[in-house]
Amino acid sequence: MLFTAAILWGFAFVAQRQGMKFVGPFLFNGFRFILGALVILPFSGIKFSRKELRAGILLGIVLFMAATLQQIGIIYTTAGKAGFITGLYMIFVPILSAFSGENAGLRTWLGIVIAVGGLYLLSIHGRIDIALGDSLVLMCAIIFALHVRMVGIYTRLFAPFKLAFLQFAVCGLLSLMGWGVFEKSSTAGLSQAIIPILYGGLISVGIAYTLQFFAQRRAPAADCAVILSLEGAFAVIGGYLILHEIMSTQSLIGCLLMLMGAILAGLPERRKLVKSD
């Protein structure tokens, strides 16, 4: 489920880049998250307990904050640096998990190191200097890590479909409010951005995020973060296949390293057999 979500999110970068040619980020996110919420609605129902409402609203607010910081940060930095810094959430997830007693094993940390190395080769082509945009994207990575951790906790307490619907609806509504306050742009470009919005809403939000919710009921958050970070590799592959972007040897090696790190993190822990007398 996590691997499939990473593929769908990776190709969503292509859709988002195309959609940004016609509408602003707040409007794009608003419509795609509302569309994702409508897709999930038949499975979630319309009755929610007070605790489910609280959890779903919190998830939606955190997701909105992360997505907004990422979009603003990209304005002031390159897409490659933004992708690399955002992917660093795979480091922050096990750090946050440690505070609740869920410590990542040596296998997971080794997978993280390999995946971060691959992400660097994939995203960075030159020296790194920290600017305003990079700081905003770094904050986004920390919040994304918090989101992954929260999903891992809440999906073991509440129905994933209900949480998914509430999260999408809250994030979509907040994005539309942001569009009204900050962008104030016309909706004339929506018709031209309809295909990217449909992919972003139906596939990236409706399917991929829901897969994440179900997968994290059974998998440790740190392992989930490494596997989900593969979206960066599939974004490059999607750009190569669909947008005919150049994929260098360095990028290919980076993709392979990220895949190795994700596979290592996804392997089951070796358990000791206890012999009975």
Chain segment 169-226, per-residue pLDDT in tens: 999 999 999 998 888 666 778 888 899 899 989 998 999 989 999 998 888 887 888 8
- 258 occurs within a structural domain: yes
pTM for this predicted structure = 0.81
**What pLDDT, on the 0 to 100 scale, is given for residue 83?**
66
Residue 215 falls inside a structural domain: yes
pLDDT, tens digit (0-9, with 9 covering 90-100), for 22-65: 888 889 889 999 999 999 999 988 889 999 999 999 999 999 99
Buried b (16+ CB within 10 A) or exposed e, 96-108: bbeeeebebeebb
Quick one: tokens of 84? 């690399």
Q: Cα separation of 74 and 133, whole Å? A: 6
For the stretch 181-210, what's the b/e string if a residue is b when 16 or more beta carbons lie within 10 angstroms of its beta carbon? eeeeeeeebeeebeebbebbbbbbbbbbbb
Any domain includes 272: no
**Would you place residue 272 in the very low, low, confident or very high pLDDT band (cuts 50, 70, 90)?**
very low
Three-state DSSP string of 57-119 = HHHHHHHHHHHHHHHHHHHCCCHHHHHHHHHCHHHHHHHHHHCCCCCCCHHHHHHHHHHHHHH
Distance, C-alpha 49 to centroid of its chain: 27
Q: Which of 209, 152, 177, 227 is nearest to 27 (CA)?
A: 177
Nearest to 76 by CA among 146, 21, 129, 10: 129
Q: Which residue segment(s) compose the domain that 63 sits in?
A: 2-265
Is residue 271 situated within a structural domain?
no
pLDDT confidence band for 273 (50 / 70 / 90) = very low
Burial class (CB in 10 A: 0-12, 13-18, 19+), 219: middle
Report the chain's C-alpha Rg in angstroms: 19
- Residue 275 belongs to some domain of the structure: no
Query: Does residue 131 lie in a domain region?
Result: yes
Residue 123 lies in a domain: yes
Q: Would you say residue 89 lies in a domain?
A: yes
Q: What's the domain count of the chain?
A: 1
